[in-house]
Structure 1
């Protein structure tokens, strides 16, 4: 009886051992299947950054945002001291107003009062010329008939008549000029000068617009590099701006796994601070050229292998991903088939 119990116990132990071995092999098989169905990569977060600098060189007047501030596209973040430029613009506007008046005067022609005055001057000059001509004729007749005047008096009368006639001709031309108005060439020259001043004003106003630094896109101020009173220039950035609309994880894949992935394939991104909350991503870039494993990849078996860079792009509306942050990428290979 005891032997039967002992045999039963041994049999029971053997059955339990077999069951445990079967369960273990099933677990290992399932784990192997899961590993084969999923590719896991390690990488780091990359963020696009923009260096914001003024196009013009001048002293910084104000800095309106600090490090860590979120800014919107078009938001003013800094300004330059523009007092000198504004004074120059005001001077240009005064010159344009004066030149515009000159152009208007040429286009409108002379006033009726000016024309009538020119005509009156012409009439007076004609009368004076006729009187001087009469005096000369009478003096000449006396000189020829009775020689009652000297030769010098005759010459004086002749010269006076000629001068009054020339004055009358000049008055006539002035009257005609007043009637005809300005020449087309003079009007064109005045209009060209006006256009040159207007173009110069437009250029100065554009330069003034560059004295205001705005954010080119939505983002977060990562670095504030200059302060009010510093001299700004195109080569001296005022801010470093991180762009929020697209981030990616830079990872590396072995050549043996390269055929398992493709552009557009879905992926999940995990970070240490949120291990249970994956961020949905998509493979957007796979390098065409292999490279040696970077030092940031901490996998022993890959240290001497050639790998290919992979970029997994993600949307991060909550802004939880930071530049250089380590991340884990998982890719469902079964779903990709």
Structure 2
């Protein structure tokens, strides 16, 4: 009898010790799991570095996708945009000028200069011939003949230069110059696109629905992509983090319908569904590798829950009930689970 009582007492104590670590309770018709509400958090930071001009939300405020949450000082970014717009206008005008080639007036002007240079060359040639003819008669000096020859050479050079200028006016700009001007215009447009992006990044918008969890900076502080302004708790999707024992993996699959209850609203059940089951096991409540306690391996699961009135909050303990007799449906879309 003494050994029997000792054995019975040992079994009772073992059962009592094991009860707190049971991740679930199972009935004949449903599986009952216990967990906590979980959600994602994001740090909202601007895309550029500048001082904060305005902030519009405080801790606990509800935000919607696209809400303007903060603005940075945008003076230098706006000036950069205007500067690039002016450069693009000037470069576009240069490209159009090169593409159109020489104007008729420019061609006529070059032709007139060529005719003038040809006349000067003809006159210089005649003067040179007269000087060479008068030199044997000793009517002029050798110095005057040399000056006449030099004038002829200069006139011929000016005529050749005018001839080249006229040819260039007829041909128009070089293809290489036009290509370089076009490339410069594309580069300026790319810079303008980046400048506009930087200007837009001075305004911080909410990426999704959520609740402001932390207001990290204040107006006047220096913000940057590495220094966030807000911490936002995303309210969609919302899920309950629970754990499944290894023996229950065959009974629960993603897509199964579920219901979630909380202690704060005990008479209310929230529609939910199993959205994720971890592919790897973990030990609970602590890492144990003894052969006797291998059955304590559990798998984390996420049961997504609809929270239209915002009653469920991060960390709130909940009870998840999964009917075991249901057929396996396809995963429902958010907040449309039965």
Quick one: which of 183, 190, 201 aligns to 1:210?
201
Sort the Cα spacing of 1:267 and 1:149 in 2 relative to 1 into closer, same or farther, 3 A.
same
Q: Report runs of 4+ in structure 1 exceeding 6 Å deviation.
A: none
Quick one: which of 130, 149, 152 aligns to 2:140?
149
Sort the Cα spacing of 1:65 and 1:130 in 2 relative to 1 into closer, same or farther, 3 A.
same
Quick one: which of 106, 110, 120 aligns to 1:114?
106
1:278 matched to 2:269? The reply is: yes
Cα distance in 2 between the residues matched to 1:235 and 1:102: 41
Quick one: which of 163, 174, 194 aligns to 1:183?
174
Cα distance in 1 between the residues matched to 2:104 and 2:326: 93
Over residues 102-136 of structure 1, what are the superposed CA-to-partner deviations in whole Å (9 max), with x where a residue is unaligned? 22222222332222222222212211111111111
Q: What is the total number of aligned residue pairs between the two structures?
A: 296
Alignment-derived partner of residue 68 in structure 2: 76
Cα distance in 2 between the residues matched to 1:168 and 1:88: 49
Quick one: which of 195, 202, 210 aligns to 1:219?
210
Over residues 130-156 of structure 1, what are the superposed CA-to-partner deviations in whole Å (9 max), with x where a residue is unaligned? 111111111111113x22221111111
Cα distance in 2 between the residues matched to 1:226 and 1:316: 30
Cα distance in 1 between the residues matched to 2:128 and 2:303: 110
Give 1:269 deviation, angstroms.
0.9
Alignment-derived partner of residue 266 in structure 1: 257
Cα distance in 2 between the residues matched to 1:328 and 1:234: 40
Cα distance in 1 between the residues matched to 2:324 and 2:119: 113
Give 1:305 deviation, angstroms.
4.1
Superposed CA RMSD: 2.3
Q: Is this contact kept in 2: 1:244–1:317, CA < 8 A?
A: no
Larger Rg: 1
SS at match of 1:277: coil
Alignment-derived partner of residue 18 in structure 1: none
What 5-or-longer segments of structure 1 have no aligned partner?
1-33, 296-301
Cα distance in 2 between the residues matched to 1:83 and 1:276: 56
Cα distance in 1 between the residues matched to 2:249 and 2:168: 90
TM-score by length of 2: 0.80
Sort the Cα spacing of 1:214 and 1:131 in 2 relative to 1 into closer, same or farther, 3 A.
same
Sort the Cα spacing of 1:287 and 1:198 in 2 relative to 1 into closer, same or farther, 3 A.
closer
